Structure 1
Amino acid sequence: MSVHDINARGPYRFTRAGRDVYHMPLARPWSWALTHHGMWSLFVTDQEPAHQGVPDRRFPLHPPESILGHWLAIYATAEYDGDAVQWLRKAHSLEAPAGDVLPAGSYVAMARLAEVSTIGNDSRSFGRDPWWSPAGSPYCRGTIAWWLEEMVVFEPLRAAQAGRLTYVDQELLPELRERVRLARDGIWRPDVYPVPLALPLLAPEPAPPPPPPAPPQHQVRQPPRRELPANDSPVPPMGLVQQLGLFGAPETPADTTRSSTEPTAPADAPLVEVLDVTTPCGTPPSLLMAAAARVRELLADGAPHDFRAVMAAAGNDLKGRPLHYRVTACPVERGPLAPWKVLVTVTGDGQGRCWHTARGMSAENNGGMS
């Protein structure tokens, strides 16, 4: 029978009272609502595992028509449904007992599966049934309702978990029937399980005591003020600062392409003293002096030379970096120049090409560095 046929014909009831007993697991505290507060409907779902990027989901189940009219032995599982606690609290103002109070792993009731309906063919689903979707409930319990009748709550009987809607163990049936008989005769009555106490009102923490009042201003002893003598004498210039590395060795400064404004050796210093100078760029002075000599030799004829020719004449340092920027200087630079600096005049056509001429041999100068 298809689902469309079931929805079209409305709720269907049992036509013959059966005698078989089927195992029906029910999570707590739904079992407590069924045994102690008259809940008469079940909403059974299965969980489909996640696959191919689709998350896991739950879908409702129709019971087989072959078990309609037979008995369901309600088995309280060890699972405790936290969402059910919220639903019972908002829909019925019921505070469910804690999980360590309610019986678990036991048969607690017997009921007949009398009727099955869906949310599309039963008007009770539209807020009319207090156990399906009452006005105060946070959500509808399901789309397929299993209605129970002839409910009997008996003394819990511990038993092993079994598959849903499987036959109850034949060895347990005599004990189940005896407990149902005792409950019907009123010899055994359902236990009353304590519900959690209301949360105590948290008393506000006492405010910290106010700080002691400050003493009057005339009673506060201020430390005597000491004036340091003024010293307007000129500060001597700072000498060469040597930056040490992590292990005490002199740290090699990083190579940069800035213009030459670094302190230099005197112009009249002997060549031996010049070669002992530590340059800020880290290049040995002997290498810079040799590159400057090659550039002066190239520009000695007074003719403009292409930037690439000057760059080739200067050559590279020990690390393969060009020395052109370290041995040439424009007239706009102030102060004494290093011995390895060559004053040049740069001319350009505005299209990216430029020529170098020795200083004093050309009237044009754009004032920039090559």
Structure 2
Amino acid sequence: MSVHAINARGPYRFTRAGRDVYHMPLARPWSWALTHHGMWSLFITDQEPARQGVPARRFPLHPPEAVLGHWLAIYATTEYDSDAVLWLREAHGLEAPAGNVLPAGAYVAMARLAEVSTIGNDSRSFGRDPWWSPVGSPYCRGTIAWWLEEVVVFEPLPASPAGRLTYFDGELLPELRERVRLAKDGLWRPEVYPVPLALPLLTLEPAPPPPPPAPPQHQVKPPRRELPANDAPVPPMGPVQQLGLFGEPGPATAPDERSSTESPTPPDEPPAELLDVTTPCGTPPSVLLAAAARVRALLADGARHDFREVMAAAGDDLKGRPLHYRVTACPAEGGPLAPWKVPVTVTGDGQGRCWFTARATSTENNGGTS
């Protein structure tokens, strides 16, 4: 049933008296107002937890229609609602006893859930009911009222907490009936709680003074941090590939048109029988041999050379593609070395940087890892 249909048909009462007993928790001092001052309405809410961009909020609940007409065992919880103290004081002039005086964790009364109404269909919500929204009250207690009838206050029955509107514990049911009978026969009367000397709603302590404002950011100068000087020579930049308007590779640079910063090609001419060999990568042997000669000349000093230096020394093929990976051979590569392969050892620092050093030439490259 929609909320609009409930508001349109007015308050709805039970049509058949039920005999089931349901657990109904109620915070203090609302339980005291029900047992000692004739409060006959409940306003039950659930709290929706806060989420990103939306704070926590409460929303009222309609009871299930199957519970209407049955008994509610009112259970005083260990919670103490300080807002209720203020409401009872301003709306009824009542000073609620402190939390350590009122019974907690026990059943204190039983009542029949007789009627349910909302602000939209019950005129009692407009200042006509002293327990809903009396004149002078700080706020209206809620939007959905659960009306109780046949309220019986009995000697507090300690019990463990349970879920709202769950069935009453069957093991405690005989004791509950006995206490209700004693209360109806007048053999037990509700205890009268004295007005507390110190009001439970204490005055708020003055807030501590705010900290002094921080100085503006423009007045605080960050400490000067000197970077260590690095006078190490900068390795030459590798060949730059010029791209066209749409990202296509530009025209290849002929070997004889390379810049003067590259290592000159050694004057040794390759053997004539190697010029007709078909390489696996499709690059002419003369281009590979020339690149290998430049790499050998670079590594001849036995020192470590940065990857960019080896790449610049090897140069590019006729299509502008780098040759360093085609003219170097690490120890992990097995089998005989091609004439254009330069045996090297590669070391790295694990952070992406690596260095090349020359390795002794052998016909079989069958050992180790770099």
The normalised TM-score by structure 2 is 0.53
2:38 equivalent in structure 1: 38
Partner amino acid for 2:41?
A: S
Any idea what the Cα deviations from partners look like across 1:233-289, whole Å, max 9, x if unmatched?
xxxxxxxxxxxxxxxxxxxxxxxxxxxxxxxxxxxxxxxxxxxxxxxxxxxxxxxxx
2:98 equivalent in structure 1: 98
8 Å contact from structure 1 (residues 101, 194) kept in 2: no
Looking at structure 2, the residues matched to 69 and 179 of structure 1 have their Cα atoms a distance apart, in angstroms, of: 21
2:121 equivalent in structure 1: 121
Secondary structure of the corresponding residue to residue 5 of structure 2: helix
Any idea what the Cα deviations from partners look like across 1:134-186, whole Å, max 9, x if unmatched?
01110000000000000000000000000000001000000000000000000
1:82 equivalent in structure 2: 82
Looking at structure 2, the residues matched to 149 and 7 of structure 1 have their Cα atoms a distance apart, in angstroms, of: 22
Secondary structure of the corresponding residue to residue 194 of structure 1: coil
1:47 equivalent in structure 2: 47
Query: Once the 2 structures are TM-superposed, how far is the Cα of residue 198 of structure 1 from its aligned partner?
Result: 6.1
1:67 equivalent in structure 2: 67
Any idea what the Cα deviations from partners look like across 1:59-98, whole Å, max 9, x if unmatched?
0000000000000000000000000000000000000000
Query: Once the 2 structures are TM-superposed, how far is the Cα of residue 51 of structure 1 from its aligned partner?
Result: 1.3
8 Å contact from structure 1 (residues 21, 70) kept in 2: yes
Q: 1:198 to 1:106 in 2, by over 3 A?
A: closer
Secondary structure of the corresponding residue to residue 86 of structure 1: helix
Looking at structure 2, the residues matched to 182 and 53 of structure 1 have their Cα atoms a distance apart, in angstroms, of: 54
The normalised TM-score by structure 1 is 0.53
1:197 equivalent in structure 2: 197
Q: Which runs of 5+ in 2 are unaligned?
A: 200-370
Which 4+ residue blocks in structure 1 deviate beyond 4 angstroms? none
Query: Once the 2 structures are TM-superposed, how far is the Cα of residue 197 of structure 1 from its aligned partner?
Result: 2.0
8 Å contact from structure 1 (residues 68, 113) kept in 2: yes
Looking at structure 2, the residues matched to 136 and 152 of structure 1 have their Cα atoms a distance apart, in angstroms, of: 29
1:145 equivalent in structure 2: 145
2:294 equivalent in structure 1: none
Looking at structure 1, the residues matched to 85 and 136 of structure 2 have their Cα atoms a distance apart, in angstroms, of: 14
Root-mean-square deviation over aligned CA pairs: 0.8
Partner amino acid for 2:142?
A: G
Q: How many residues align?
A: 199
Looking at structure 2, the residues matched to 52 and 66 of structure 1 have their Cα atoms a distance apart, in angstroms, of: 36
Larger radius of gyration: 1
Secondary structure of the corresponding residue to residue 47 of structure 1: strand
2:186 equivalent in structure 1: 186
Looking at structure 2, the residues matched to 176 and 46 of structure 1 have their Cα atoms a distance apart, in angstroms, of: 28
Partner amino acid for 2:68?
A: L
Looking at structure 1, the residues matched to 198 and 66 of structure 2 have their Cα atoms a distance apart, in angstroms, of: 46
Any idea what the Cα deviations from partners look like across 1:34-60, whole Å, max 9, x if unmatched?
000000000000000011210100000
Looking at structure 2, the residues matched to 50 and 82 of structure 1 have their Cα atoms a distance apart, in angstroms, of: 22
Secondary structure of the corresponding residue to residue 188 of structure 2: coil
Secondary structure of the corresponding residue to residue 196 of structure 1: coil
Partner amino acid for 1:180?
A: V
Looking at structure 2, the residues matched to 29 and 175 of structure 1 have their Cα atoms a distance apart, in angstroms, of: 25
1:312 equivalent in structure 2: none
Q: Which runs of 5+ in 1 are unaligned?
A: 200-370
Partner amino acid for 2:29?
A: P
Any idea what the Cα deviations from partners look like across 1:113-146, whole Å, max 9, x if unmatched?
0000000100000000000000111000000000
Looking at structure 2, the residues matched to 56 and 119 of structure 1 have their Cα atoms a distance apart, in angstroms, of: 23
Looking at structure 2, the residues matched to 67 and 59 of structure 1 have their Cα atoms a distance apart, in angstroms, of: 20
Matches within 5 A, 1:168-179: 168-179=168-179
Partner amino acid for 1:166?
A: T
1:25 equivalent in structure 2: 25
Secondary structure of the corresponding residue to residue 124 of structure 1: helix
Looking at structure 2, the residues matched to 193 and 167 of structure 1 have their Cα atoms a distance apart, in angstroms, of: 30
1:57 equivalent in structure 2: 57
Query: Once the 2 structures are TM-superposed, how far is the Cα of residue 21 of structure 1 from its aligned partner?
Result: 0.2
8 Å contact from structure 1 (residues 28, 81) kept in 2: yes
Partner amino acid for 1:89?
A: R
1:8 aligns with 2:12: no
Looking at structure 2, the residues matched to 6 and 52 of structure 1 have their Cα atoms a distance apart, in angstroms, of: 32
Looking at structure 2, the residues matched to 135 and 165 of structure 1 have their Cα atoms a distance apart, in angstroms, of: 32
Looking at structure 1, the residues matched to 52 and 165 of structure 2 have their Cα atoms a distance apart, in angstroms, of: 30
Looking at structure 1, the residues matched to 3 and 179 of structure 2 have their Cα atoms a distance apart, in angstroms, of: 38
Partner amino acid for 2:145?
A: A
Secondary structure of the corresponding residue to residue 183 of structure 2: helix
Aligned-pair identity in percent equals 88
Partner amino acid for 2:184?
A: R
